[in-house]
Amino acid sequence: MSTTEEPLFDYVKRNLESTKGRWPDVAEGSGVPISTLRKIAQGQIVDPSVGKIQALHDYFKRRALVHYAAEVQP
């Protein structure tokens, strides 16, 4: 049985789209400048640095874990 994981860049782009309007929070939480978030989301940066994508990925994963933990608390 094989499992496929969504590529990091696709994961980041999808999460940027779903958090549109909250990018100042994303920028602050990830350490990636808001101007870079805009450029990635708008496709102006098609090959961003691994460090920026990793920082955004980690931010969105932490955010998902916090959201999940809040849902399962009694």
The predicted model gives 54-74 an average pLDDT of 79
Q: Using alpha carbons, list the distances in angstroms from residue 21 to 16, 25, 38, 46.
A: 9, 9, 11, 21
Q: How far is CA 14 from the centre of its chain?
A: 8
Determine phi and psi for 45, rounding to 5 degrees: -110, 110
pLDDT digits (tens, 9 = 90+) for 10-46: 999 999 999 999 999 999 999 999 999 999 999 999 8
